[in-house]
Amino acid sequence: MKRTGGMRWCGFAVIMLCLPILAGAASSPAPAPGSPTAEVKEPYVVKKGDTLWGISKDLLQDPLLWPRLWEKNPAVKDPNLIYPGDRLTLPGKEIAPPPTAEAPKAEPAKEKVEAPPVAPPEGIGSIVRSVDNRTLISMEDLVGVGVNANVALNPGDRLAVVRPAQRLIHPRTGLPISRVLYILGLVEVKEAKDRVVLGRVSYSCGAMSIGDLVMPYTPAQFPEGKIAQPTQRSVEGVIVDSLRGERAIGMLQVVFLDVGAVQGVGPGDVFGIYRPSPPVVDAAGAVLAIPPVRIGEVVVIRVNNQTSTAAVTTSAIEVRIGDQVALSRQIVP
């Protein structure tokens, strides 16, 4: 059944405080697929999240060439069913024949490739004690916060309490691109002396505990009084993960995208969600490419440099990690 629906901007304003934020991107980001520095190896080994459409876009610089890639690999019976570890011949390039049974050869040791680390959360300190010696800290509790050197805080300042969660792994490259930080609540500074702060938990999204990180709280800005307008800009990306790791994502659920402020994306921007369509064969036996199907929309809620948090506002079918997104409407300044 088709599921559609809209979400009013005021609804976002209510839930944005407790939505997770994203830590900084990897310190040594991988080269963009298809860029001159991205090395292409032969044969291509399928990774988790790959599609013929995406491989053609990354390695052949044209996603519409995926029928040629499919034709070159007759072992692939269904273009929508390729699996990690499959070896694909690129058009115009052959896979070397495997060694014969009479003269087996041991494969050379593969060089270990380490993923670039994700930058640690930018905390300025952590909760060091509960005034009432509580194990689980919640709203109205008094806490002691130890802050880093050279951090100056004043009464009335607000701190966000965060807890690191899962790393975001790009479904195509297999490399980490960011880390999710769950916001547990807000602490209002009551007294500050040297590197110790006495604070009151003024808002709680979840139970806090000793050791949770704190960072300066900056309210997320959302253009509640503006409507996204059709845009001619071309910004494409991928759904990297969902808030709770769901594999079948529906309307009003939260997802993470691999595009952000660097690509000119801002809160309120709307992306269409697309999924490649299987090809058709005409009466003459020619394989005809079918454009990808638009299956829904997401609206951007929060933006980081290289990533963004978005909510699914329209879905015709379940949304999946690895689905493509393309900017369709944008908030005009």
Is 13 a residue whose pLDDT tops 80?
no
The radius of gyration of the chain's CA atoms, rounded to the nearest angstrom, is: 24
**pLDDT band with cut points at 50, 70 and 90 for residue 15:** low
- Which residue from 297, 302, 300 is spatially nearest to 180, judged by alpha carbons? 302
- Flag whether pLDDT at 102 surpasses 70: no
Longest pairwise C-alpha distance within the chain: 81
User: Which single residue is written with the structure tokens 């697309």?
Assistant: 274
Does the pLDDT at position 39 exceed 70? Answer: no
The pLDDT of residue 263: 95
Q: How many percent of the chain have pLDDT more than 90? A: 41
CA distances from 135 to 140, 150, 182 (A): 14, 29, 19
| CA gap 36, 170 in Å, rounded | 20
Top CATH class, 125-216: mainly beta
Model confidence at 330: pLDDT above 60: yes
Which residue matches tokens 């800290």? 137
Backbone angles phi, psi at 126, to 5 degrees: -155, 160
In whole angstroms, what separates CA 280 from the centre of its chain? 32
Whether 75 and 59 have beta carbons less than 8 Å apart is answered as: no
Q: Is the domain covering 44-88 a CATH 3.30.70 domain?
A: no
Q: Are domains 44-88 and 125-216 of this chain identical in fold? A: no
Can you tell me the distance from the alpha carbon of 198 to that of 240, in angstroms, rounded to the nearest whole number?
39
Q: 280 or 257: which carries more pLDDT confidence?
A: 257
| 223-330 placed in CATH 2.170.190.11 | no
Share of the chain above pLDDT 70, in %: 79
Q: Return the pLDDT at 12.
A: 54
41-50 mean pLDDT: 77
Across the range 255-282, mean pLDDT stands at 93
Residue 34 has pLDDT above 50, yes or no: no
Q: Is the peptide bond before 43 cis (omega within 30 degrees of 0)?
A: yes
| Per-range mean pLDDT, top range of 118-132, 162-176, 219-233, 318-332 | 318-332
CA distance 195 to 315: 49
The half-sphere exposure of 301 on its side-chain side, counting CA atoms within 13 A, is 30
Over 70: is that where the pLDDT of 244 sits? yes
| Strand bridging mode 308-315 / 213-216 | unpaired
**Whether residue 145 has pLDDT greater than 50:** yes
Mean pLDDT, the chain, rounded, equals 80
Every domain of the chain and the residues it spans: 44-88, 125-216, 223-330
4 vs 165 pLDDT, higher one: 165
Average confidence (pLDDT) over 212-232: 88
pTM of the model: 0.65
List, for residues 208-219, the tens digit of each pLDDT value.
999 999 999 988
Average pLDDT over residues 188-197: 91
Q: What integer pLDDT is reported at residue 274 of this predicted model?
A: 96
Q: What's the confidence (pLDDT) of residue 69? A: 83
pLDDT in tens, 282-316: 888 888 888 889 999 999 999 989 999 999 999 99
Q: Which residue has the tokens 């058009």?
A: 91
E strands, the chain, in order:
21-22, 44-45, 87-88, 125-130, 142-147, 158-169, 176-193, 196-204, 213-216, 229-230, 236-242, 254-257, 270-275, 280-281, 287-288, 293-303, 308-315, 324-330
**Of residues 25 and 78, more confidently modeled:** 78
